[in-house]
């Protein structure tokens, strides 16, 4: 992505005074040469201060650069990742440039404006302190943003690489829907750093994952990383009902396994589309004609809005069985948030 | 009826000249023509809130509020003498207010922030420009009152000054006639463009050989809405399908036929859940007896069985136990069984 595209992407760039001289801020701003940053005292005085409709991200997206305060690394919810070791997530960014119709971010924050936090040294310090008690812990990036979508501007992951090389028991997951791997490929592949991709068959992806790269492009990026020796994870999440589900996922899994060294795919996580009540309300408001609404939802066991249990189980077992039929070992398949 | 709302009478001058307006309530600055009300709300959040609230309380036949006015520009790229339709309106009163309101114009792309006092300095305008392209002193109040009264609103603004200029109030006042002509031309050109009302026809509900209860009709509409999202020509293909025709043309009662049509739609709507519901209902029905009654409504999602039992003797109790022992949990789970 060139700087012209970056400039178009952000209407305004606002920088917290405290991080103006942070090397990460300087790096980001160097990638946005035409931006005229507005200096602000405190991010919280502006970001999320007004209720800004989610779809304004299409033509009125601001970028905030600041310092993450408070707890920087948090325990992940139950059933978040591979069971066994403790899971944590850290916040290096809020919001996303993509526009997936089911995305929880549309009902989570009160603004689609992006925040890039630049105090990675402090995040790493907090990760280090957790490792004292939980040396095998997992750390996930991309809970509130896409961890690679803006990596051509931020290039923050090289700072994490040395740390995880020196802490080989700890695991880092960078979760993405992007193909923005240019800054990752030159790094040394590490056994404990996983690049994980959320994948959907091409047709539903085109319909629901607006502005994301095509499934074909994602598989190409996975192949490049896999060929270079990086560890991969695949999230088939969210699975959305389609009458052609079986055919679509068989095709997707065939394409993926033909292009990837299966030994480097550490896991496949499966999850069915789900929303909190607030998020679902926003999805209805933002995408009233979406085919997402063409199948019935119910309020499920945890008060989230989901398909009915038989439908969820059918979807999960269909995709799981396709994986098993392709010799993916059952131990590498886990169900996310079920 | 539409209510046209202006802050200043000068901005509405051409409307007064062209429409045959008669004063309706002079204390409210409210006028009426054959098809429209016109309100001169005065400047500022408070005046707009007060007058518009009273008008909407008194005249319930107002369905939509259309606002025209002059706004300050916070975005250099906006051309003067153009009309901008407002998308979202924010408010600043010493600090940003959290609440925002979005207009009913889905095509609008320009955002506005309403302030409580005139803003002269470019520095203040720069701060406000983080959220909005334009600035005024009334629209947030208008949108806020409209929301409270559940009325549609649209707001059209023209730019009076740019970000770097100090606001020139007198000059704007002098040019009010020019702006009023601009608003009038916009009003006339957009007046006839009212969206066609959505068709609410439903070929199934209209079929005279069927009879649906109110609840069933609601279900039909719900199913059809989803199925049309999947396939826009669903209703036509469904009503011309062999299955549908054979139900409709059968000798059964209207009530029976309607139930079958409903089931046919439910199968299309969610085949997996519907099949499971029917299967489990059948199991529970076969278990039901004079001592036990099952509530299967929550079974599908929670996988737990609720039942009510009643016994008077040890014989009754034995019958209950025997019935419960007949339940094959694994078989019953079917597709509700977790992966």
pLDDT tens digit sequence for B33-86: 988 999 999 999 999 999 999 999 999 999 999 999 999 999 988 988 899 999
**B127-172 confidence digits (pLDDT tens):** 999 999 999 999 999 999 999 999 999 999 998 765 455 555 566 6
A316 interfaces chain B, CB cutoff of 8 Å: yes
pLDDT above 70 coverage of chain B, percent? 91
Q: Which of A49, A291, A313 sits opposite B229 (nearest CB)?
A: A291
Contacts of A317 in chain B (CB under 8 A): 339
- Residue B199, in any domain of the structure: no
DSSP B121: -
- Indicate if B187 and B58 belong to the same structural domain: yes
- Residue B73, in any domain of the structure: yes
Q: Give B8 or B302, the one with higher predicted confidence.
A: B8
- Residue B49, in any domain of the structure: yes
The answer to whether the Cβ–Cβ distance between A314 and B98 falls below 8 Å is no
Q: Give A141 or B201, the one with higher predicted confidence.
A: A141
**What pLDDT score does B281 carry?**
83
**What pLDDT score does B192 carry?**
57
Q: Other CB atoms closer than 10 Å to residue A124's CB: what's the count? A: 20
**What pLDDT score does B200 carry?**
52
**What pLDDT score does B162 carry?**
54
Residues A3-335, CATH architecture:
Alpha-Beta Horseshoe (3.80)
A301 interfaces chain B, CB cutoff of 8 Å: yes
- Indicate if B274 and B261 belong to the same structural domain: no
- Indicate if B303 and B284 belong to the same structural domain: yes
Q: Are A52 and B89 a contacting pair, CB within 8 Å?
A: no
Q: What are phi and psi of A14, to 5 degrees?
A: -120, 135
Residues of chain A predicted below pLDDT 50: 1-5
The answer to whether the Cβ–Cβ distance between A53 and B100 falls below 8 Å is yes
Which of A168, A218, A226 minimizes the C-alpha distance to A193?
A: A168
**pLDDT-derived band at B336, boundaries 50, 70, 90:** low
Q: Are B51 and B139 a contacting pair, CB within 8 Å?
A: no
A29 interfaces chain B, CB cutoff of 8 Å: no
The answer to whether the Cβ–Cβ distance between A12 and B129 falls below 8 Å is yes
**pLDDT-derived band at B299, boundaries 50, 70, 90:** confident
**Chain B residues touching chain A at CB-CB below 8 Å:** 87-88, 90, 95-100, 102, 109, 111, 126, 129-131, 226-227, 229-230, 269-270, 272-273, 275-276, 300-303, 334-339
The answer to whether the Cβ–Cβ distance between B227 and A53 falls below 8 Å is no
Q: What residue of A is the nearest CA neighbor of B112?
A: A52
Residues sharing a CB contact under 8 Å with residue B200, sequence separation 6 or more, in sequence order: none
Q: Mean pLDDT over all residues of chain B? A: 88
Report, in angstroms and rounded to the nearest whole number, the Rg of chain A calculated over CA atoms.
20
Which of A62, A4, A47, A3 minimizes the C-alpha distance to A28?
A: A3
- Indicate if B176 and B250 belong to the same structural domain: no
A247 interfaces chain B, CB cutoff of 8 Å: no
**What pLDDT score does B47 carry?**
96
When divided into structural domains, chain B yields a total of 3
DSSP B153: E
- Indicate if B299 and B187 belong to the same structural domain: no
Here the tokens at position B249 are: 């043309």
The answer to whether the Cβ–Cβ distance between B270 and A296 falls below 8 Å is yes
- Indicate if B93 and B153 belong to the same structural domain: yes
**What pLDDT score does B197 carry?**
41
- Residue B277, in any domain of the structure: yes
Q: Rounded to a whole number, what is the distance in Å from the CA of B87 to chain A's nearest CA? A: 9
- Indicate if B180 and B219 belong to the same structural domain: no
A8 interfaces chain B, CB cutoff of 8 Å: no
Q: Domain end: B266, B293, B319, which one?
A: B266
The answer to whether the Cβ–Cβ distance between A311 and B102 falls below 8 Å is no
The answer to whether the Cβ–Cβ distance between B226 and A296 falls below 8 Å is yes
Q: Domain end: B266, B292, B318, which one?
A: B266
Q: Give A119 or B191, the one with higher predicted confidence.
A: A119
Q: Rounded to a whole number, what is the distance in Å from the CA of B27 to chain A's nearest CA? A: 35
- Indicate if B121 and B176 belong to the same structural domain: yes
Q: Helix or strand or coil: residue B65? A: strand
**What pLDDT score does A1 carry?**
46
Tokens 């800004």 found at: A52
- Indicate if B234 and B296 belong to the same structural domain: no
Here the tokens at position A62 are: 């601001």
- Residue B90, in any domain of the structure: yes
**pLDDT-derived band at B305, boundaries 50, 70, 90:** confident
- Indicate if B129 and B231 belong to the same structural domain: no
- Indicate if B261 and B297 belong to the same structural domain: no
Question: Where in the sequence is the domain holding B257, given as residue range(s)?
Answer: 205-266
**pLDDT-derived band at B202, boundaries 50, 70, 90:** confident
Contacts of B95 in chain A (CB under 8 A): 49
- Which residue of A242, A310, A312, A322 to mutate against B (max B Cβ within 10 Å)? A310
- Indicate if B17 and B106 belong to the same structural domain: yes
In this prediction, residues B90-106 reach a mean pLDDT of 93
**What pLDDT score does B304 carry?**
79
> Residue A226 — left, alpha, or beta (φ > 0 → left; ψ -120 to 50 → alpha)?
alpha
Q: Which of B130, B226, B338 sits opposite A295 (nearest CB)?
A: B226
Q: Is the pLDDT of residue B199 over 90?
A: no
In this prediction, residues B179-197 reach a mean pLDDT of 77
The answer to whether the Cβ–Cβ distance between A46 and B130 falls below 8 Å is yes
Residues sharing a CB contact under 8 Å with residue B159, sequence separation 6 or more, in sequence order: B70, B71, B72, B73, B78, B79, B80, B81, B82, B84, B134
A50 interfaces chain B, CB cutoff of 8 Å: yes
**What pLDDT score does A3 carry?**
43
Q: Are B87 and B103 a contacting pair, CB within 8 Å?
A: yes
The answer to whether the Cβ–Cβ distance between A309 and B300 falls below 8 Å is yes
Q: What residue of B is the nearest CA neighbor of A49?
A: B98
Contacts of B126 in chain A (CB under 8 A): 38
The answer to whether the Cβ–Cβ distance between A50 and B301 falls below 8 Å is no
């Amino acid at each position: 992505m060139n700087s012209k595209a970056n400039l178009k992407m952000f209407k305004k760039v606002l920088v917290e005074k405290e991080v103006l001289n942070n090397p990460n801020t300087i790096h980001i701003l160097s990638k946005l040469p035409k931006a005229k940053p507005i200096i602000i005292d405190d991010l919280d005085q502006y970001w999320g201060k007004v209720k800004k409709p989610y779809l304004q991200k299409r033509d009125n997206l601001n970028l905030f650069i600041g310092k993450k305060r408070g707890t920087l690394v948090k325990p992940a919810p139950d059933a978040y990742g591979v069971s066994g070791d403790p899971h944590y997530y850290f916040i290096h960014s809020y919001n996303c440039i993509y526009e997936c119709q089911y995305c929880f971010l549309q009902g989570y924050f009160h603004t689609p404006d992006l925040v890039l936090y630049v105090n990675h040294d402090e995040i790493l310090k907090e990760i280090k302190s957790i490792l004292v008690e939980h040396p095998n812990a997992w750390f996930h990036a991309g809970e509130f943003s896409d961890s690679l979508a803006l990596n051509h501007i931020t290039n923050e992951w090289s700072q994490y690489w040395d740390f995880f090389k020196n802490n080989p028991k700890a695991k880092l997951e960078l979760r993405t829907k992007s193909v923005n791997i240019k800054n990752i490929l030159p790094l040394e592949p590490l056994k404990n750093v996983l690049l994980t991709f959320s994948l959907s068959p091409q047709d539903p992806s085109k319909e629901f994952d607006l502005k994301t790269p095509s499934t074909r492009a994602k598989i190409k990026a996975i192949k490049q990383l896999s060929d270079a020796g990086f560890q991969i994870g695949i999230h088939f999440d969210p699975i959305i009902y389609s009458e052609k589900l079986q055919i679509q996922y068989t095709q997707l899994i065939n394409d993926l396994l033909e292009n990837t060294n299966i030994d480097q795919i550490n896991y496949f996580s499966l999850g069915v589309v789900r929303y909190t009540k607030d998020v679902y309300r926003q999805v209805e408001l933002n995408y009233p004609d979406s085919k997402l609404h063409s199948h019935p939802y119910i309020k499920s066991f945890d008060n989230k809005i989901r398909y009915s249990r038989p439908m969820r189980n059918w979807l999960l077992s269909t995709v799981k069985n396709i994986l098993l039929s392709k010799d993916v070992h059952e131990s590498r398949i886990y169900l996310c948030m079920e | 009826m539409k209510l046209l709302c202006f802050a200043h009478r000068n901005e509405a001058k051409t409307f007064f000249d062209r429409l045959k307006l008669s004063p309706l309530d002079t204390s409210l600055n409210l006028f009426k023509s054959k098809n429209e009300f016109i309100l001169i709300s005065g400047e500022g959040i408070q005046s707009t809130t007060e007058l518009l609230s009273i008008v909407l309380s008194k005249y319930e036949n107002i369905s939509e509020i259309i606002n025209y006015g002059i706004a300050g520009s916070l975005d250099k790229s906006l051309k003067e003498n153009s009309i901008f339709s407002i998308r979202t309106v924010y408010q600043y009163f010493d600090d940003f207010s959290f609440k925002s309101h979005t207009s009913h114009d889905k095509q609008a792309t320009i955002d506005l922030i309403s302030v409580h006092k005139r803003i002269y300095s470019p520095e203040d305008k720069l701060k406000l420009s983080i959220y909005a392209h334009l600035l005024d002193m009334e629209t947030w109040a208008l949108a806020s009152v409209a929301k409270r009264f559940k009325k549609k609103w649209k707001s059209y603004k023209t730019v009076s000054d740019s970000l770097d200029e100090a606001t020139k109030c007198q000059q704007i006042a002098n040019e009010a006639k020019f702006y009023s002509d601009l608003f009038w031309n916009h009003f006339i050109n957009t007046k006839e463009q009212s969206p066609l009302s959505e068709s609410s026809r439903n070929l199934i509900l209209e079929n005279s050989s069927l009879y649906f209860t109110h609840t069933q009709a609601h279900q039909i509409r719900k199913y059809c809405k989803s199925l049309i999202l999947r396939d826009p020509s669903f209703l036509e293909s469904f009503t011309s399908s062999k299955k549908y025709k054979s139900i409709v043309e059968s000798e059964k009662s209207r009530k029976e036929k309607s139930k079958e049509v409903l089931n046919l739609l439910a199968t299309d709507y969610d085949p997996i859940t519907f099949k499971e519901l029917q299967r489990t209902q059948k199991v529970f029905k076969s278990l039901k007896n004079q001592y036990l009654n099952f509530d299967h409504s929550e079974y599908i999602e929670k996988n737990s069985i609720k039942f009510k039992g009643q016994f008077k003797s040890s014989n009754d109790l034995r019958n209950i136990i025997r019935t419960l022992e007949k339940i094959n949990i694994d078989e019953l789970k079917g597709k509700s069984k977790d992966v």
